[in-house]
Amino acid sequence: MLVLVANLGSTSFKYRLFRMDGNGGEVIAKGGYERVTDYAAVIDDALTALQRDGVIASPDEIEAVGFKTVLGKDLSGCVMADQQVIAALEGFTAVAPAHNPPYAAGIAQFEKSLPNARLVALFETAFYQWTSPASYSYAIPSVWRDIGIRRYGFHGASHKFIAERSAELCGREDVAEIVRRLYLDGPQPVEGKPFRVISCHLGGSSSVTGIRNGVAIGSSMGFSPQSGLPQNNRVGDLDSGAIPYAMRTLGISLDEAERQLTKESGLLGLSGVSNDIRDVNAAALEGNPDAQLAIDSLVHSIRHWTGAFQFELGGLDALVFTAGIGENGAATRAAVCKDLEAFGIHLDPAKNEACRATESVISTDDSSVKIIVIPANEELVLAREVYRKLS
């Protein structure tokens, strides 16, 4: 089955074409466009290029298109991308203004450009469908809850991949199979010992997720991707009382407060140096105290959420690092795992230093918690989910 994974940004369109066979898949073509103003033109250009290069003889060979949609109003899961999905994306444009409009437009355009393909949306919130009301509810009036304000959780494709791969690496094929079929069959009982994982997706955008028997129990991210850990330039968790106080005291509008919290906060806001942790690390090494504070604050927040989930899971079998910082940031991983031997977390410093963006176990042989680095591959995750849904 040929599956096109469409990655739509506010001014970009990237794609990968996969040949899928079971759980495996190979990329047979990829490409992208920047500064996009007309999705119809670039999608048609991409389809023409695939034919010109001999990858496909006709666009009809593309059986399915997958979209990693972020957040829908009253809709989640891995679902056929139809009018209902477009309406759900449009219903939450205000919460995800950079992500929802391009996906709504892109899905509508693919319906026209590839009328015979089946379109599938995998919401980033899908992995959190089975979290408990106690964990997803904010203590707000019912009228607020009625308009959809609750914790959703994000990076669901990445964390679900970690749930599956960590189970494989820890010899829990029973749990890996539950994860593979999760969006088809829902959570399943596990015989014997539970399998408990904490997945740390640390990149430009970061979140920590607790996973029991292949199913997420919660996320550090809540209603919007502005929450949880300090992000590259977004604030992360912030007391709701701070916003009216800052607006009144600084005399700024709601739009300006939102701009500062989404563009000038996070690692950039704290360090004053950069939104890229490599620059922040370099500045900290040169003695910049604000840069050091940004790093310490990120590590503090990762440990805060890791501790919360380890407690809630009632123990831990695997602690996983993924995404740009998680895969490459040996110093960040070491800081997160520091002095946690009492909780069964024993990092092997040499293995940690040696690991750069390759799948590796970086705990000591006698660590009761396996610490693992697993490279993210969100496009493959999407292609797999599309294939499973349609097979």
Cβ-based neighbour number of residue 36 at 10 Å: 18
As measured in angstroms, the least distance from the Cβ of 359 to ligand AMP is 15
Quick one: 193 or 278, whose CB is closer to ligand AMP?
278
For ligand AMP, which residue of 174, 237, 264, 276 counts as binding (CB under 6 A)?
276
As measured in angstroms, the least distance from the Cβ of 352 to ligand AMP is 13
For ligand AMP, which residue of 204, 272, 344, 375 counts as binding (CB under 6 A)?
204
As measured in angstroms, the least distance from the Cβ of 313 to ligand AMP is 25
Quick one: 145 or 278, whose CB is closer to ligand AMP?
278
The verdict on 285 binding ligand AMP (CB under 6 A) reads no
The verdict on 277 binding ligand AMP (CB under 6 A) reads yes
Quick one: 91 or 228, whose CB is closer to ligand AMP?
228
Stretch of 10-18, 139-147, 273-281, 297-305 lying at the interface with ligand AMP (CB under 6 A)? 273-281
Quick one: 175 or 319, whose CB is closer to ligand AMP?
319
Quick one: 59 or 329, whose CB is closer to ligand AMP?
329
Quick one: 156 or 203, whose CB is closer to ligand AMP?
203
First-to-last alpha carbon distance for the chain, in angstroms, is: 9
The verdict on 264 binding ligand AMP (CB under 6 A) reads no
Q: Across the chain, which distance is largest between two alpha carbons, in Å?
A: 63
Q: Please give, one letter per residue, the 3-state secondary structure of the chain.
A: CEEEEEEECCCCEEEEEEEEECCEEEEEEEEEECCCCCHHHHHHHHHHHHHHCCCCCCHHHEEEEEECCCCECCECCEEECCHHHHHHHHHCCCCCCCCHHHHHHHHHHHHHHCCCCEEEEECCCHHHCCCCHHHHCCCCCHHHHHCCCCCCCCCHHHHHHHHHHHHHHCCCHHHHHHHHCHHHHCCCCCCCCCCEEEEEECCCCCEEEEEECCEEEEECCCCCCCCCCCCCCCCCCCCCCHHHHHHHHHCCCHHHHHHHHHHCCHHHHHHCCCCCHHHHHHHHHCCCHHHHHHHHHHHHHHHHHHHHHHHHHCCCCEEEEEHHHHHHCHHHHHHHHCCCHHHCCCECHHHHHHCCCCCEECECCCCCCEEEECCCCHHHHHHHHHHHHHC
Name the residue whose CB lies closest to ligand AMP.
Answer: 324
As measured in angstroms, the least distance from the Cβ of 52 to ligand AMP is 30
Quick one: 214 or 225, whose CB is closer to ligand AMP?
225
As measured in angstroms, the least distance from the Cβ of 323 to ligand AMP is 4
Per rule CB under 6 A, count of chain residues that contact ligand AMP: 11
339: left (phi over 0), alpha (psi -120 to 50) or beta: left
As measured in angstroms, the least distance from the Cβ of 269 to ligand AMP is 15
Stretch of 36-44, 129-137, 255-263, 275-283 lying at the interface with ligand AMP (CB under 6 A)? 275-283
Determine the angle formed by the axes of helices 156-169 and 378-390, rounding to 10 degrees: 90
Residues 224-253 interacting with ligand AMP (rule: CB under 6 A): 232
Quick one: 181 or 278, whose CB is closer to ligand AMP?
278
Residues 310-339 interacting with ligand AMP (rule: CB under 6 A): 323-325, 328-329
Quick one: 213 or 231, whose CB is closer to ligand AMP?
231
Residues 84-123 interacting with ligand AMP (rule: CB under 6 A): none
For ligand AMP, which residue of 193, 259, 278, 338 counts as binding (CB under 6 A)?
278
For ligand AMP, which residue of 59, 91, 156, 203 counts as binding (CB under 6 A)?
203
Quick one: 204 or 344, whose CB is closer to ligand AMP?
204
Which residues bind to ligand AMP, rule: CB under 6 A? Answer: 203-204, 232, 276-278, 323-325, 328-329
